Chains A and B, each alone.
Chain A
């Protein structure tokens, strides 16, 4: 009789412990599925998020299709014992374009910033402009024919502005290749756009759209001394 009672008690306890454990696990799960960014976003923000993820998806999907095609082309060449030189040249050219090693041309905008009697253009104005152009999808940018790349610095040194360690002076002619309409409308946004903010500060800015902007290659060797590609495995 006594033994039976004990068994009952122990089994009840056991059930309780299991239940508690289950509840704790559940707690955890609720915490983890909380995708804070998406959960707390407002409707308008959600809409921009949606379109931005969609565009990024499309770009990635396009790139994926391209890569798959290249793999097939290489494989076809190999199986038929042909030279792969043509494919290589094509790929090399594409990466040279992206790395700023070639002169490029295309539609875009030309923005001219110049010192006036009141205000001088400083490096920060150029950094802001470059950033705005990139945000609007600029593919290539130069300042007074110095190519602006991801490793480019724009700094004030003793009253001069240096770009890629070379001196540039007023008027600063900033060229950008990309969708003309995007570029120009981004810069000319009322009040918050680059042109209005600069003009409000008393600085001289002009912008024009061009169908054939020419941007020179990076003038120098692009080499990495310290960075090595991470090897797999």
Chain B
């Protein structure tokens, strides 16, 4: 009786283990097959990864150095009134051009592809294109937020700066040359009541909703907006005399 019980327990555990190992082997195989389908692609992937890591590291260093510079600048100007005024102006400019993190009252907008359709369920006369968020929709939202006096805007962590393009290649939307995808979280700092006005009845946002795109807008008392992590360029422009 006892022996039978023990055998059962061990047997059961072994079966479980074998199943786990089999599943694991299978997923590994799948992962490997996509990764190593082509040797050239594989090494390219490595290079892309390395390039991205190198960029990430540099951006982190830059982040630290910028903080250090702000401190040194403050230190160097603290005993001189005209100098500390200039220092304050530089700080203000940095806020305007988007290379600092900002916070303040504002709104948050969630925009999401129609969750009720997919390429399988879409009707023959309809198109999936009608039910997804396009780059043009995001540009439109940024534009109306600006019209409502937004002081700073970010979409999925990407700060909208002077050089920001919102584009679509194939079905990939890029902001600041970084891939972003639905659901989109758009945050804006500014006068709440006026920002909320972008959701006019019968306006463009209602039109997006008519196609099944989900749009939710809410007031947020303390919106936090990321800084732009790239390098703003002034290679071709100089002060005009």
Interface set of A (CB-CB < 8 Å, partner B):
9, 12-13, 16, 19-20, 23-24, 26-27, 30, 34-35, 37-43, 46-47, 49-50, 52-54, 56-57, 59-64, 67-68, 70-71, 74-75, 77-78, 83-85, 87-89, 91-108, 123-124, 127-128, 131-132, 134-135, 137-140, 149-155, 177-179, 214-215, 222, 224-230, 232
Q: Per-residue CB proximity of B54-66 to A under 8 Å, as 1/0?
A: 1100110110011
Flag if B47 contacts A139 (CB, 8 Å).
no
Asked whether, in the complex, the Cβ of B83 is within 8 Å of the Cβ of A38, the reply is no
**Taking A57-B51, A67-B66, A71-B65 as contacts, is the C-beta distance between A95 and B97 under 8 angstroms?**
yes
A95 x B59 contact (CB < 8 A): no
Task: Please state if A151 and B139 are interface contacts (CB–CB under 8 Å).
Answer: no
Q: Ordered nearest first, which 5 A-B pairs have the shortest CB separation? A: A95-B93, A153-B147, A135-B165, A53-B51, A105-B240
- Shortest CB–CB separation between residue B196 and chain A, in angstroms? 14
By a beta-carbon cutoff of 8 Å, the part of chain B in contact with chain A is 6, 9-10, 13-14, 16-17, 20-21, 24, 27-28, 31, 34-35, 38, 40-41, 44-45, 47-49, 51-52, 54-55, 58-59, 61-62, 65-69, 72-73, 75-77, 80, 82-83, 86-87, 89-98, 100-106, 136, 139-140, 143-144, 146-147, 150-153, 160-167, 177, 179, 189-191, 224-225, 229-240
- A225: chain B residues at CB < 8 Å are 151, 191
B82 touches A43 (CB 8 A): no
Partner of B230, one of A60, A140, A152: A60
Instruction: Say whether B55 contacts A57, CB under 8 Å.
Output: yes
Q: Do A96 and B62 have beta carbons less than 8 Å apart?
A: no
- The minimal Cβ–Cβ distance linking A66 to chain B, given in whole angstroms, is 9
A65 CB → nearest B CB, Å: 10
Q: Which residues of A contact B96 (CB under 8 A)?
A: 99, 222, 224
Which residues of B lie under 8 Å from residue A97 when comparing CB positions?
234, 237-239
Chain A min CB distance to B160 (Å): 5
| Closest residue on chain B to residue A72 by CB atoms | B72
Q: How far is the CB of B74 from chain A (nearest CB, A)?
A: 10
Please give me the residue from chain A that is nearest to B43 by CB atom. A46
Do the beta carbons of B103 and A228 come within 8 Å of each other? yes
**Chain A to chain B contacts (Cβ below 8 Å), 23 pairs:** A13-B9, A16-B13, A27-B24, A57-B54, A62-B231, A63-B62, A78-B75, A85-B82, A92-B86, A96-B93, A98-B93, A98-B232, A124-B136, A132-B165, A139-B237, A140-B237, A150-B97, A155-B147, A224-B102, A224-B151, A227-B103, A229-B102, A230-B224
Most chain B Cβ neighbours within 10 Å, of A46, A98, A152: A98
A108–B236 CA distance with the chains assembled, in angstroms: 8
Q: Enumerate chain A residues within 8 angstroms of B190, measured Cβ to Cβ.
A: 226-227
Contact A135 to B93, CB < 8 A, known contacts A16-B17, A50-B48 = no
